A and B are shown apart, each in its own frame.
Chain A
């Protein structure tokens, strides 16, 4: 294990200990509570019901480990990893206690690996696969850009590099195609991220911090070597990893990383607003929008804090609080509302209160049944909106929801927002 000065569970003892059990971490912000249905935002609690499957419970387990008051058992592992790391708890906690419960759980996983405990088998398999083949699917690394259409218009002096991500490179290639369709419609000079490798999100969420740092460093080095400083992604997970996790594991502020990361929805919304992009093709469809955790509440810039606490727990130096309130919430909605013929219906749990699709935090790999249960819960909520399709801005959300649709024989359609927007811009979104 590398000697580290950050991301120690001990650094978040205050946050685990300060929990009084107010349940802000599990309930939807009460201002946005719409009734008896769907009160929870914590997928883990919804599925497993016992309080330990929440931030408030996991924090107590973490303290027991820190205080050497108990063994790390198989059950402890399940409790720790049956969590989407979706950050719903973190957003909720800001209202009452202003603690960082998500960081307790992230660093608890790091603590577990550092102390010789393995992640769940399914997740371990994925991280091993990434180590072997630089992508989560075990596909040939040299086929990563095979999705690229022959007529793609790369710029020789690109304004930005498109970091495609494993999913759209190998699985949902239509998203990658739609993304470059949007970039081209906006006349943006772009090129593909050279020799792109998995962003390393599964590695980080597994708790294997050293490996995550190594993976991050590879991509950062590549970026530096390219001379570019702006990356665009269509994958919310890659976006959040570059924007939040890389600086987090490097113990830097996001704005000190020397690059700028932008999600395609941020870019497109800006271009629609300034008139560069003009969605003109009708998309006659009623849709709702599913906020990807990674794009929304998890994407505040990272701001490290190291210091001490004085009276009443006041921080010295004074901590700059991250409160899940600067994420990409409005841009996807602005895009959808700009599309002719498209009717937008808001879902009950939305924005920082959204229910995770179920895939996050390694859950889809480690506990696929749990991931599907959560997706089904979300699909029921989607059905309540009356929308015929659900749109997201993350290929993993689309995947997980699509799988639940397929398995459950449901009729709702699932799309990535790039597909919808590309259709509205070019009539060639492939819907």
Chain B
């Protein structure tokens, strides 16, 4: 229980309107409990914060952190409250809701934008496109905070051209767990945050790796992110929610769908796209997406998806659909050139070009992937990997095999191997393997799904020698750590301990989180054989 004196101390920092200990107010920041679980670990860990604060500035955040340190109180930062780690996992915690920090400025000439934690990707992309620039919008949705997502993840099909998130961090104002502020990148030289590299060793190496710290290494209150050249022709928004989308300026942006003779050919096709240095994005389209797009409600989807299961399984196994986006960044002629190259590659591989609508509702600015969550009411999450495209394909098959053992409560997807895409202009690939789950939260369901994500999933990735994507944040570090680096967790722990010896920044912290979950649940603990 936090004392009245400490409450008063905190109230003086943010003002009475921006602090609350009211049970109803605090309850809204519980990720587990009554909230639908898109990440199951929250069910086991999330607790109600003792106090919720709405700081409005870096100075206020810093003062709160210092008060927390002084009184040894734990604290959890949250911007748009999407990942389970945005919710406290222990009693008597402060929750810092950062949504009031809405700083935004764009430097179009030098292609960057500086944002506060309250700015989301929908806003950033709209501003970027208003200035002839663009960035990617993550699959987690346009609503996710730019800072939070850039710190812990940062993927979309558009990362084929806009690069991995680590490269997009150009500057950061970072409140360390002890309350001290460090400026990253050119901010450290007194300049604007236009350049991310350090003075000598690059402290972005501490800020994030393949995953982020999820608030357990302090709070970034401002970040400058890189933007990229786009084109000047407008995407026109049309429709009424939920059926809204952008009309593409077709002489500057186009979709191309191809049906390929088989998956191997499709993968070769994708590699060739990278080798020819064309395209804005490309991805395999799971056949289930087509059924989702056709169904006007989830009932219809489930009805048609479960009809004739053998036939569906065959369809999933045999259908290879590739979706490619071309953008004429330079000119309309660029699009014409790239289309010619694309068609030549398609012809070389015997792939058939299919008609598709020249609209977008889920990649460019609006990335909430309408209808994708309808199926099970957001009771879904993903597994996946980061390496080459070939590795993505093989890991997809392994995940599909594993998933069958957990179906139900996972939704039967007829052994679909997930969707994969090229990243980084074809230099690496990305697999995202979707797992829809039964929304009824019986204890058995929760445990089985946790087993899938926290134990069985990490094990098959380790066994294959692949690298899990953000699931490394929901894998037990005691299992993952010795297998990667090796011992990445021990090095990270040294850093954490040096800056947060009391462990106040969002405990149990990303390095101990899933081990804590496993230790708390007897069924999972019994499976701990490492």
Would you call B97 and A49 a contact (CB within 8 A)?
yes
Choose the segment among B258-266, B323-331, B370-378 that binds chain A (4+ C-beta atoms closer than 8 Å): B370-378
**Interface contact A313-B439, CB-CB below 8 Å:** yes
Which residues between 208 and 244 of chain A lie within 8 Å of chain B, taking CB atoms? none
Q: Hey, which chain B residues are within 8 Å of A96, CB to CB? A: 141, 368, 370, 373-374, 378
Indicate whether B210 reaches chain A with its CB closer than 8 angstroms. Answer: no
Smallest CB gap from A65: residue in B: B24
Give B337 Cβ to nearest chain A Cβ, in Å. Answer: 29
Whether A52 contacts B27 in the complex (CB less than 8 A), given A33-B123, A36-B119, A98-B297, comes out as yes
Interface residue total, chain A, C-beta cutoff 8 A: 60
Query: Are A34 and B126 CB-contacts (below 8 A) given A19-B35, A351-B240?
Result: yes
Asked if A49 meets B100 with Cβ closer than 8 Å, knowing A20-B378, A313-B439, the reply is yes
CB of B373 within 8 A of CB of A312, answer: no
Cβ of B367 within 8 Å of any chain A Cβ, yes or no, is yes
**Quick check: is A24 within 8 A (CB to CB) of the other chain?**
yes
Q: How far is the CA of A154 from the CA of B376 in the complex (A)?
A: 55
On whether the beta carbons of B302 and A95 are closer than 8 Å, the reply is no
Total A-B contacts with CB atoms under 8 angstroms apart: 199
Q: Which residue of B lies closest to A34 (CB)?
A: B126
Q: A30 at interface (Cβ–Cβ under 8 A)?
A: yes
- Name the segment of B186-194, B242-250, B416-424, B451-459 touching the other chain: B242-250
Bound-state Cα–Cα, A76 to B125, Å: 37
| Residues of chain B lying within 8 A (CB to CB) of residue A83 | none
Residue from the list B24, B52, B366 in contact with A29, Cβ < 8 A: B366
Q: Are A60 and B27 in contact (CB under 8 A)?
A: yes
Residues of B close to A24: CB separation below 8 A: 143, 368
Within 8 A of A (CB), among B1-44: 17-18, 20, 22-25, 27-31, 33-38
Residue among B27, B137, B242, B376 with max Cβ neighbours from chain A (10 Å): B242
Bound-complex Cα distance A18 to B375 (A): 12
B35–A94 CB distance below 8 A:
no
B318 lies within 8 A of chain A by Cβ:
no
B365 within 8 A of A: yes
- Asked whether any CB of chain B lies closer than 8 Å to the CB of A148, the reply is no
Residue A431 interfacial (CB < 8 Å): no
A171 at the interface (CB under 8 A from B): no
Smallest CB-CB separation from A75: which chain B residue?
A: B22
Contact call B241/A312, Cβ cutoff below 8 A = no
**Contacting pair B375 A31 (CB below 8 A):** no
> Which chain A positions have C-beta within 8 A of B37?
20
Least CB distance from B125 to A in Å reads 8
Chain B: interface residue total (CB-CB under 8 A): 72
A410 within 8 Å of B (CB atoms): no
Residue among B130, B242, B438 making CB contact with A323, cutoff 8 Å: B242
A23 at the interface (CB under 8 A from B): yes
Contact check, B240 vs A352: say whether CB atoms are below 8 A apart: yes
- Asked if A63 is at the interface of the complex by the 8 Å CB criterion, the answer is yes
With A50-B25, A96-B368, A98-B374 known to touch, is A23 a contact of B143 (CB < 8 Å)? yes
Partner of A17, one of B34, B141, B367: B34
A22 and B241 contact, CB distance less than 8 A: no
Asked if A27 and B122 sit within 8 Å, CB to CB, the answer is yes
CB neighbours of A50 from chain B (8 A) = 20, 25, 28, 52, 54, 97
Query: Do A61 and B24 touch across chains, with their CB atoms under 8 A apart?
Result: yes
A100 to B99, CA, bound (A): 25
Task: Decide if A137 is an interface residue (CB 8 Å cutoff).
Answer: no
Chain B residues with CB under 8 Å of A61's CB are 24, 27-28
Once the chains bind, are A36 and B104 in contact (CB under 8 Å)? yes
A49 close to B54 (CB less than 8 A)? yes
Given A95-B242, A319-B299, are A39 and B378 neighbors across the interface (CB < 8 Å)?
no
Residues of B within 8 A of A22 (CB): 82, 141, 143, 368, 373, 378
Q: How far is the CB of B434 from chain A (nearest CB, A)?
A: 14
Q: What residues of A have a CB within 8 angstroms of the CB of B244 in the complex? A: 29, 31-32, 95
Q: Complex Cα distance A91/B100, Å?
A: 24
Chain A: residues with CB nearer than 8 A to chain B?
16-24, 27-36, 39, 49-52, 54, 56-57, 59-61, 63-64, 70, 73, 75-76, 79, 91-92, 94-99, 311-315, 318-319, 321, 323-325, 329, 351-353
- List 7 A-B pairs, minimum CB-CB distance, nearest first: A57-B28, A30-B366, A30-B122, A20-B378, A36-B104, A30-B142, A20-B36
Given contacts A17-B36, A23-B80, A52-B25, 4 further A-B contacts (CB under 8 A): A20-B38, A64-B24, A312-B411, A312-B438
30 pairs of residues in contact across A and B, judged by CB atoms under 8 Å:
A16-B34, A20-B36, A22-B82, A22-B143, A24-B368, A27-B143, A29-B244, A29-B366, A31-B365, A31-B366, A32-B237, A33-B125, A35-B127, A49-B100, A50-B54, A52-B22, A52-B28, A60-B33, A61-B27, A70-B24, A75-B22, A76-B24, A79-B25, A92-B241, A94-B241, A95-B241, A312-B298, A319-B297, A321-B297, A323-B241
